[in-house]
Amino acid sequence: MTTFKNQPVLVTGGAGFIGSHIVDALVAAGARVRVLDNFSHGSRDNLAHHGQAVDIIDADIRDPAACARAVAGVTYLFHLAALGSVPRSVEQPILYNDVNVNGTLNVLEAARLAKVTRVIYSSSSSAYGDAPVLPKIESMPPSPKSPYAVTKLVGEHYCRAYSACYGLSTISLRYFNIFGPRQNPHSQYAAVIPAFIEAIRHNRPVTIYGDGEQTRDFCYVANAVHANLLAAACAKPLAGEVVNVACAQRTSLNQMLNLMSEKLEKPVKKNLQDSRLGDVRDSLADISAAEKLLGYRPQVLFAQGLELTLQAYLSPTQ
């Protein structure tokens, strides 16, 4: 496996939830880490423990000059900068296209001109849409249901096109419901696990959009980090391949709430609301392609990941 020691790497969105965990792993591996982030959603607190060990560029991926500055001399580029949240994308589709599509194109163009060795792109299982067939496998035709999903799928296509046209080595990782410490529980668009923990901790009803029987392939953040490092280190030529990153386990929201209630030793009150536009009913990944191409297997399964997440959110520093 490729060593990252002394390798110059760039993490776009490196102050965010997943990005900051990737930064941690790269710093621990001895890489020379640079972060490009505009801190619209990421937090400097997520990087503060690295002190001067991480070079931070406070800029936006919609700025081509900033992208060019950030990729200079870089070997591996982990592209995570993006706007998340399906519901918010339904409200602001133009903004999502501008950041997630135009921004990704700027990053890829900068990487091409700088002759970056490989771009590892963070995509989303939302590209599959709501087809009833499970598990989701990469050969299925995509059917995005939200502007967010469309933007992530377009990013995959641009990665593949840059490989085909310019020889830039790229790979797209389709994340399935990544969760863990540092995920923001306070936004109105907060991901389900931190939002649920926050509600239970403060004895508030847990808002569920739907009946709670919808299922997700929840994947602890350490698995996403593992997949990113494997993708960068992969000795095989990569030209825009797409692989699922998940645990190949399906858990309903009701099952998850029961587990949280048990571990927190608190009863759960549910506030059931209508399903939201763009939401997917069921999600489960086939991860055999990632295993075959990258040697990926989940390092932390759902129950253990939830335990670690609860510990982090309940720690005195939170």
Sign of CA dihedral 178, 153, 119, 238: positive
Half-sphere exposure of 149 (CA within 13 A, CB side): 19
Pairing between β-strand 8-12 and β-strand 76-79 as defined by DSSP bridges: parallel
- Picking from 238, 309, 233, the residue whose alpha carbon sits closest to that of residue 25 is 233
DSSP state of 316: T
**Known catalytic residue: 296?**
no
- Picking from 120, 238, 214, 134, the residue whose alpha carbon sits closest to that of residue 175 is 120
Q: Which of 76, 121, 128, 148 is catalytic?
A: 148
Residue 178 β-bridge partners: 219
∠ Cα 95 241 180 (to 5°) = 60
Residue 28 to residues 32, 85, 244, 296, 299: CA-CA distances in angstroms? Answer: 10, 30, 25, 20, 18
Q: Which residues are catalytic?
A: 148
